[in-house]
Structure 1
Amino acid sequence: MSRRLLARASARHLAGHPWLTALSLLGIALGVAVVVSIDLASNSALQAFAQSTDTVAGQATHQLVGGPSGLPASLYSALRLRPGAPTSAPVVEGHVRAANGDRRPLTLLGVDPFAEAPFRPYARDRKGSQVTLLLTEPGTVLMTASTARLVGATAPGDTFEVAVGGQRRTLRVLDFLAPSDERTLRALEGLLLADVSTAQEVLGLTGRLSRIDLKLGDEAEEARLRQWLPPGVDVLRAVSRGNAVDQMTRAFRTNLTALSLLALVVGMFLIYNTMTFSVVQRRGLLGRLRALGITRGELFALVLGEAALLGAVGTAAGLLLGVLLGRGLVGLVTQTINDLYFVVSVRRLSLEPLMFAKGVALGLGATLGAALVPAWEAARSPPVTTMRRSTAEDMAQGRAPKLALLGLLILGAGTVLLVLPTHSLSPAYVGLFSVQLGAALLVPWMTERLVLGAAHPLGAAFGMLGRMAARGVRTSLSRTSVALAALMIAVATTVGVGLMVASFRGTVVEWLESSLQADVYATPPSLMARRGDSSFVPGLAERLSTTPGVAASATIRSVKVNVNGIPTDLTAIAFPPNIPRQYRFKEGDAATVWRELEALDTVIISEPLSFHHNLHRGSTLHLATDHGPRDFRVLGVYYDFGSDVGAVLMPRATYDAAFEDRGVTSLALYAAPGQDVDALVERMRERIGDAQIVNVRSNRVLREGSLEVFDRTFTITQVLRLLAVGVAFVGVLSALMALQLERAREFAVLRATGLTPGQLWGLVSLQTGLLGLLAGLFAVPLGLALAHILVHVINQRSFGWTLQLVITPGVLIQAVVLALAAAGLAGVYPAWRMSRANPALALREE
């Protein structure tokens, strides 16, 4: 019976305060939604890549791979003729983009239909000999019906154009792929299946293969195959590709997840605030219930039950909101992955049960965790103490110094974790959240000290209302300190992330200005923003280098090589004579490095590669070349912000000696003295004509384009900042509403003794303004600390970049203004409601 009565009392209380209940639910929902949406978006992008990789790889156990230019097609013929040859199939793989219609990347897969049966079931013959017709009808492809709609085709026989490497190719739909199971059908979306020769022609890989798929029985068979293989060809396990992708993107995904958890942390303050208000407001009722025989355990269960109900409803709403938010964020995550790591096309959100289970665990766990303290306080207080209003505030003020001491200890522990000499991110994130928690625990004591000092100047400026506003904050410390802590953490995060982005951007701008020294850059269009994966058609690079008005030129070749199993950028540059090489070195003297780099067994590496693989000046770098494995001496480590995975740089002569590839990815051209750069750009475009689509950009335009990519990369970070502030705003609004409702009788007494509605409005506005100002002042030093941690610890351990912390006064001013605005807006409704309340009704006992 008692449990039923308690449940009814709890339900009536929640229903009697619909706005506070709704705000609590909104805070929980937003916190869960941010975490779930980030998980769904990032996992959808990686699952789309994994499904595409698995579908393309099929049932192969191993793959034969070569250098940047692939394998000679003759190797496949020799392998098939070898006695005891393993099951094998040739593959030509690349990415194209539909010239019309959907512009997302498509995978072009060239296969031999006669060799596909053991590897890719969808590529076998069906309905007669449709797949083998690819051999007899050039320029034809198979695809799913949904992919056909993306490229603007509606039926077999329709033609469409694709763009690749600045050139257009026309293809014809031979038929539609229609696998029996839904999973394979989804995985085939975005795939164009062609004959090997068609794929070679479209991708410009005549006489070359991307790889050879194999089915090997055991390690002994693999060892025998290795002995037979010519230099420059390696055997890789098919699963290694997925592992490499996971390692490449792990830091990026970890950073997104950690940032999204911030919204949940802020939401926990909101939940704590709501449950504390629920207990404080019913202190009389709870005390009477204890006096009538309700046990401590039953009261404890009552508060936790309310929290569980709020958590369940808020979490369910958060999951739905997370799916909606994830649909918007998946495009941002995919674009960032395309810019930084590899080509991936995501066309739908993957709704995995594990992601929802994680959201439920976080939502309910955070809610119950935040409610533990108020539930415990409600249960352990004696009935007489519970029924006194001043008890909670006396306890809050008495507890403030102890909480401050605990906060200092947690800050110290967090600092120790941050300075540990490790590359692991886990201690760094625990240290980061420890700093936030420690700062939050300092808020009650600091607030009490500051408002005591603010009473006199506020009284001098606003009279009695100013003194009342300051004292009101102190006498409601149990309520105001939680709201202040939530707003402080959210605003401090905007400061920290804002300064981190500004520092990163400033460092990148300085790096671009020093590294982009040529006047004009020419590059065929690429599917990846930060790495050229296209080449000039033969002869065009030489023709552009001899354009009238060009004094000197440098050819650049960018390819991917494996460094310890991770695909890594390799850049080969034919440096022009008498042109300064503007590279800043972290290790090695520039003059010595450039002189020694003439040797054909030397390279320089970027800072991230040095960091991730523990390579330094004097180290040996092992690379698989077209002439077999070779060792290169590392002469220096240079600063580079083009890739967080890392990069290897070598002169073109060294590259030509190690690889058979003679392609040119881009040109850097230096204008002759007195030559107008814009006129030179137009002259080069005319010289290109219809030979190939080439992006010809001046130094200034290229820098602007690079910064656009940078800003696009951090778009999702800015979105998460706004969401975190939104959660904090809801928390402050909830806290202020609870505070004003709790003080309804106090305000009624003031109204009855002559305080006008306008004066009451001014009192509430002054109080909320003071809360906002305090939150802004608290947020500035915490934000600076977070910025230092993000720049010098998190970014360094995640990506290996050395950034210069830039403190922008505008960001700090915006933080204070943001806190004032959030608190001011959150106080509008409570002030309006209190000023219009009927004093007589408010003075009545419930």
Structure 2
Amino acid sequence: MRALLARSSLRHLGGHPWLTALSLLGIAMGVAVVVSIDLASGSALRAFEQSTDVVAGKATHQIVGGTSGLPEGVYTALKLRSDAPAAAPVVQGFVQVEGGNQRTLTLLGLDPFSEAPFRDFSTGNAVGDVGALLTKPGAVVMGAKTAQALGVKAGDTLPVMVSGLRKELHVAALLSPAQEATERALESLVISDLSTAQEVLEQQGKLTRVDLSLPDGEAQAARLRAALPQGAELVQTSGRAGTVEQMTRAFRTNLTALSLLALVVGMFLIYNTMTFSVVQRRGMLGRLRAVGVTRGELFGLVLGEALVLGVVGTTAGLLLGILMASGLVGLITRTINDLYFVVNVRRLSLEPFTLIKGLGLGLGATVLAALVPAWEAARATPVTALRRSTEEDVSHRRAPQRALLGLGLLALSVGLLAWPTQALPPAYAGLFGVMMGTALLVPWVTEKLTLAAAWPLGALFGPLGRMAARGVTASLSRTAVALAALMVAVATTVGVGLMVSSFRGTVVSWLEAALQADVFVSPPSLVARRGDSAMVPGLAEKLRATPGVVASGSIRVVQVRVGEVETDLLAIDFAQGQERSYRFKEGSTEDIWRQVDASPDVLLVSEPFAFHRKVRAGDTLRVSTDKGPHDFRVGGVYFDYGSDVGTVLMPRATYDHWYADRSVTGLSLFAAPGLDVDELVSRVRDRAGGEQALNVRANKVLRQTSLEVFDRTFTITQVLRLLAIGVAFVGVLSALMSLQLERAREFAVLRATGLTPGQLWGMVSLQTGLLGLLAGLFSIPLGLALAYVLVHVINQRSFGWTLQLVVAPGVVVQAMVLALVAAALAGLYPAWRMARANPAMALREE
């Protein structure tokens, strides 16, 4: 019996190729979106982690310095100790390849005689002269694949830019390591000796760190800490990975949650397909029950069909996800480079766990969506199963019950969203609960609205209008699912669109308040949101004296350790006579600035920093300085949208008190009254000459550039929106096709009683248009609710930002147009097919 039922299922699926194909496509797209996001973001982070691990080698601890680096004497003193551990000096920084490639590489300066206990880049088939590292100025070695990508070979010169300064590297040899991890790390790495790296990175006499191997653990570490000079610290190498994980956790969680929306929409499609399968064969299932097939066997029949679809669709989704990830990895890498740190991803990492997770999600979602149709098929008695109207009677009878269930789910979701916690899972559970609760309201609301719409449609289009409206209600079990799928997809575009536009509006207002100077000058930076490159000594003073400049300020951006986490520190020299544009979350602005200016022990923190570190005004923070770790009091929390991981801020006078660094990262220049800003930009560029490549930008240009970076960071979000719409469109097309094909006999009767093909086309098109209109109307309140949750709950818990929700009329109008167009396009084929169907053939079918 089971074999007969299995063959029956396969024949049924094969007999409806279009519906089966659409179902498979919906499952595949839902799985592909989740897998592609996971693979792409995972590949970017693994590329960074692998590179960091290979560069750090076998070091257990590192000695690091302050903002100016670590004096070479620290390493010399360490080697003279009687209990000196294995140690290796390191100079590390970034260089950007000149020309069309614009690739960023890590320059690693090493002492070959100290490297054996830590790193092994040796290879038996090096091409070129490795020994030139010690004899030729500017000599470097790099991976053979990197050289091939850059179009250079051993003996060539490689021009690079470092903080706006042009340097030349001489490629002495090419390496081809046997170990894959080392080979991958070399794809973004160039290696030199210490003196070359110091010269290229402008770090003469300084080290980035000293790598240590401390087999005795904390006992040996404690002795070394006691002997370190002021400004030097001993840290564990494992802390870096934790910092990276903390920086990107919220970013990756939000991408994953958005990708799951596509899978949720795909579940509506699976539910629709399996429900149609049950409804279409209701008579046959009733006869099977009458001849002795058990409820369990029917339940297994429907669930088995879903599992077959799930296996095929999920497998296709995994393959499609790998292809999509190859394209998305570039977008994600660019966003990470704009926001967090420099990372190069040259290949996609196919992690088995990600593929297994995608397989589990696809099969799990398919089986979950098929449970209700399978249960409906199994529990029906033979008598009711043989009556075609039974399903619709049940749908109408249960619509109020489902509406009440939806209201209960909405109430539960609101409770989860209002829960005072910073954890993201309850917020996302509440978000998905709002969507599902609203979807449960759709049948009851649709029934009431279509009944009310019958009269105006009849007045406008005659009997065809009333038939179209009543047709939606008569097939409520089918139309409600299609409406719910389209509503969720369109509402997602509304919610995400309003979130992005609100975020953008908040950032625009913040930039207008923050960017008060007329001209901004800074060296090029590798991370868009953090300009941490320094001007060459003396250039800032020279540019401040440009004719036409009446006031100027400066900023220095460095990384310091707050607690054990690296954090951006902004040291600001405020322009005399100009208003300080910072807004504070609480407290009097005048009192806060008075405290900060009066004491060298007070600093400010940004809102994201305060959120992530759980600090408030008046709390104490331990910050690494050139004079050793020092406890600073938090004077206030300021609004900032330039960094989602948070920053700390202090006046330049306070910075100069605690740090020996006198470099300047950027200048803000105010033009004299009546002087054209473009003229001042030209004067500054002329005065800078060719001493250092600089970005000299007017206020308007910098604001536009900042918004371009903002828009780039949301490109991946927009892609996910489009993918979710694509899945929904497939679902609506499948639902409408199944709906119209299911009504073939009804349409045949209408044709036989005199309805022309054109009238039938018009009625079907009017019905799909009504579905689109209803989906658009339903999606607007749900989209607004999603936008509120994304802005005031998800973003707040993810990044700590306070945003203002702005309802842009254009986004709402787009939602209505999108719903109408999607429904109209999805209804074209069913309308065409029904209009061309042979009434006699349709009436003869059982």
TM-score with structure 1 setting the length: 0.99
Amino acid at match of 1:175: A
Q: Which moved more, 1:563-572 or 1:619-628?
A: 563-572
Q: 2:646 corresponds to which residue?
A: 646
Alignment deviations for residues 771-814 of structure 1 (CA, whole Å, 9 cap, x no partner): 11111111000111110000000000000000000011111111
SS at match of 1:114: helix
Contact 2:333–2:343 at 8 Å: present in 1 too? yes
Amino acid at match of 2:194: V
Alignment deviations for residues 562-588 of structure 1 (CA, whole Å, 9 cap, x no partner): 223332211001112211111111122
Q: 1:51 corresponds to which residue?
A: 50
- Aligned pairs for 1:688-767 within 5 A: 688-767=688-767
Q: CA RMSD in A?
A: 1.3
- Aligned pairs for 1:330-479 within 5 A: 330-479=329-478
Task: Give distance in 2, aligned partners of 1:267 and 1:403.
Answer: 21
* Equivalent in 167, 170, 183 of residue 169 of structure 1: 167
Contact 2:555–2:573 at 8 Å: present in 1 too? yes
Contact 1:112–1:196 at 8 Å: present in 2 too? yes
Amino acid at match of 1:39: D
Q: Which moved more, 1:234-243 or 1:713-722?
A: 234-243
Task: Give distance in 1, aligned partners of 2:381 and 2:125.
Answer: 80
Cα deviation, residue 231, structure 1: 2.0
Amino acid at match of 2:652: R
Contact 2:41–2:332 at 8 Å: present in 1 too? yes
- Aligned pairs for 1:202-351 within 5 A: 202-217=200-215, 218-351=217-350
Task: Give distance in 1, aligned partners of 2:173 and 2:643.
Answer: 40
Q: 1:87 corresponds to which residue?
A: 86
Contact 1:385–1:391 at 8 Å: present in 2 too? yes
Cα deviation, residue 187, structure 1: 2.3
Q: Which moved more, 1:126-135 or 1:326-335?
A: 126-135
SS at match of 2:116: coil
Q: Unpaired segments of 5 or more residues in structure 2? A: none
SS at match of 1:421: coil
Cα deviation, residue 68, structure 1: 2.1
Contact 1:502–1:806 at 8 Å: present in 2 too? yes
Task: Give distance in 2, aligned partners of 1:564 and 1:282.
Answer: 66
Amino acid at match of 2:344: S
Q: 1:556 corresponds to which residue?
A: 555
Alignment deviations for residues 275-307 of structure 1 (CA, whole Å, 9 cap, x no partner): 000010011111111111111111111111111
Evaluate the alpha carbon distance shift between residue 128 and residue 440 of structure 1 in structure 2; reply closer, same or farther with a 3 A threshold. closer
Q: 2:628 corresponds to which residue?
A: 628
Q: 1:637 corresponds to which residue?
A: 637
Alignment deviations for residues 667-713 of structure 1 (CA, whole Å, 9 cap, x no partner): 00010111111011011111111101000000000000000000011
Contact 1:94–1:107 at 8 Å: present in 2 too? yes
- Aligned pairs for 1:540-579 within 5 A: 540-579=539-578
Alignment deviations for residues 292-327 of structure 1 (CA, whole Å, 9 cap, x no partner): 111111111111111111111111111111111111
Cα deviation, residue 372, structure 1: 0.7
How many residues align? The count is 844
Evaluate the alpha carbon distance shift between residue 670 and residue 628 of structure 1 in structure 2; reply closer, same or farther with a 3 A threshold. same
Contact 1:101–1:152 at 8 Å: present in 2 too? no
Contact 2:128–2:155 at 8 Å: present in 1 too? no
Are 1:186 and 2:169 an aligned pair? Answer: no
SS at match of 1:389: coil
Contact 1:100–1:151 at 8 Å: present in 2 too? no
SS at match of 2:235: strand
Alignment deviations for residues 320-344 of structure 1 (CA, whole Å, 9 cap, x no partner): 1111111111111111111111111
Amino acid at match of 2:198: Q
Alignment deviations for residues 687-743 of structure 1 (CA, whole Å, 9 cap, x no partner): 111101000000000000000000011010000001001100100000000000000
Contact 1:486–1:728 at 8 Å: present in 2 too? yes
Task: Give distance in 2, aligned partners of 1:103 and 1:304.
Answer: 53
Task: Give distance in 2, aligned partners of 1:565 and 1:38.
Answer: 30
Task: Give distance in 1, aligned partners of 2:60 and 2:158.
Answer: 34
Task: Give distance in 2, aligned partners of 1:285 and 1:562.
Answer: 71
Q: 2:499 corresponds to which residue?
A: 500
Q: 1:669 corresponds to which residue?
A: 669
Task: Give distance in 2, aligned partners of 1:773 and 1:810.
Answer: 17
Contact 1:479–1:735 at 8 Å: present in 2 too? yes
Q: Which moved more, 1:794-803 or 1:618-627?
A: 618-627
Contact 1:116–1:123 at 8 Å: present in 2 too? no
Cα deviation, residue 182, structure 1: 2.4
Write out the 4+ residue segments of structure 1 that deviate beyond 4 Å after TM superposition. Answer: 123-132
Contact 2:50–2:181 at 8 Å: present in 1 too? no
Contact 1:167–1:693 at 8 Å: present in 2 too? yes
Evaluate the alpha carbon distance shift between residue 58 and residue 544 of structure 1 in structure 2; reply closer, same or farther with a 3 A threshold. same
SS at match of 1:628: coil
Are 1:801 and 2:801 an aligned pair? Answer: yes
Q: 1:141 corresponds to which residue?
A: 140
SS at match of 2:804: coil
Task: Give distance in 1, aligned partners of 2:356 and 2:101.
Answer: 34
Contact 1:621–1:634 at 8 Å: present in 2 too? yes
Amino acid at match of 1:794: I
SS at match of 1:634: strand
Q: Which moved more, 1:654-663 or 1:591-600?
A: 591-600
Cα deviation, residue 123, structure 1: 5.4
Alignment deviations for residues 753-778 of structure 1 (CA, whole Å, 9 cap, x no partner): 00000100010011101111111111
Amino acid at match of 1:668: S
Q: Unpaired segments of 5 or more residues in structure 1? A: none
Task: Give distance in 1, aligned partners of 2:567 and 2:620.
Answer: 16
Cα deviation, residue 12, structure 1: 1.1
Task: Give distance in 2, aligned partners of 1:302 and 1:515.
Answer: 64
Evaluate the alpha carbon distance shift between residue 467 and residue 99 of structure 1 in structure 2; reply closer, same or farther with a 3 A threshold. same
SS at match of 1:160: strand
Task: Give distance in 1, aligned partners of 2:612 and 2:716.
Answer: 25
Task: Give distance in 1, aligned partners of 2:834 and 2:670.
Answer: 71
Evaluate the alpha carbon distance shift between residue 601 and residue 369 of structure 1 in structure 2; reply closer, same or farther with a 3 A threshold. same
Task: Give distance in 2, aligned partners of 1:551 and 1:73.
Answer: 42
Contact 1:678–1:698 at 8 Å: present in 2 too? yes
Task: Give distance in 2, aligned partners of 1:511 and 1:411.
Answer: 35
Contact 1:125–1:132 at 8 Å: present in 2 too? no
Amino acid at match of 1:92: V
Task: Give distance in 2, aligned partners of 1:127 and 1:184.
Answer: 14
Contact 1:28–1:318 at 8 Å: present in 2 too? yes
Contact 2:96–2:162 at 8 Å: present in 1 too? yes
Q: 1:515 corresponds to which residue?
A: 514
Task: Give distance in 2, aligned partners of 1:765 and 1:225.
Answer: 80
TM-score with structure 2 setting the length: 0.99
Contact 1:166–1:694 at 8 Å: present in 2 too? yes
Task: Give distance in 1, aligned partners of 2:31 and 2:554.
Answer: 50
Cα deviation, residue 101, structure 1: 4.7
Alignment deviations for residues 591-629 of structure 1 (CA, whole Å, 9 cap, x no partner): 122222122111111111111112111111210111011
Task: Give distance in 2, aligned partners of 1:123 and 1:665.
Answer: 38
Q: 1:815 corresponds to which residue?
A: 815
Task: Give distance in 1, aligned partners of 2:126 and 2:775.
Answer: 70
Q: 1:113 corresponds to which residue?
A: 112
Contact 2:231–2:625 at 8 Å: present in 1 too? yes
Contact 1:418–1:428 at 8 Å: present in 2 too? yes
Contact 2:123–2:176 at 8 Å: present in 1 too? no
Q: Which moved more, 1:68-77 or 1:98-107?
A: 98-107
Evaluate the alpha carbon distance shift between residue 127 and residue 292 of structure 1 in structure 2; reply closer, same or farther with a 3 A threshold. closer
Task: Give distance in 2, aligned partners of 1:231 and 1:381.
Answer: 81
Q: Which moved more, 1:557-566 or 1:53-62?
A: 557-566
SS at match of 2:731: helix
Task: Give distance in 2, aligned partners of 1:542 and 1:153.
Answer: 39
